[in-house]
Amino acid sequence: MNSIARGAVAFSAAGLIALASWEGFESNPYQDVGGIWTDGFGNTVAVQPNKKVTVPAALGRLSNNLARFEKAVIECTTRPLTQGQYDAYVKFSYNVGVTAFCNSTLVKKFNAGDVIGSCNELKRWIYVKGKRVQGLVNRREAERSMCLSGLPNDGGV
């Protein structure tokens, strides 16, 4: 396993492409399945419902948002991460938020050394307001695969 010291890891190009692909780009603000105003590449910060966002502005917001979620992953985990774990956890926290990520069983399991169990926790985060969302099922399976990548035998699963 190629673990990387927590302070030395950075979100990879593959992670960025995967995140942008899952989020998609929307110039017109919209309310997501949870009712949260969103624009650009999944941005939920300072969205103005009647104001379109340009691609350059959305990319700037994506960069600013990623810095916040990368910081959360570094601060909330206590063990070295593989690139796949780091990318998966940043993508996940980008979707669920810093507080949900840091307080999750996923992080508790990871910090306790149950790396595979931590990756498997991703599959539980598929509901919005009590309803199973197929898009989240698909996204979480992709994040789980990313999380397990680089582990011996891809985590034994």
Q: Catalytic site residues?
A: 23
**Angle, in degrees to the nearest 10, between helices 83-96 and 13-23:** 30
Surface-to-core class of residue 41, CB atoms within 10 Å of its CB (0-12 exposed, 13-18 middle, 19+ buried): buried
Q: Could you tell me the CA-to-CA distances from 120 to 89, 129, 130, 141 in Å, in that order?
A: 12, 21, 20, 9
Tokens 């650009």: give the residue: 40
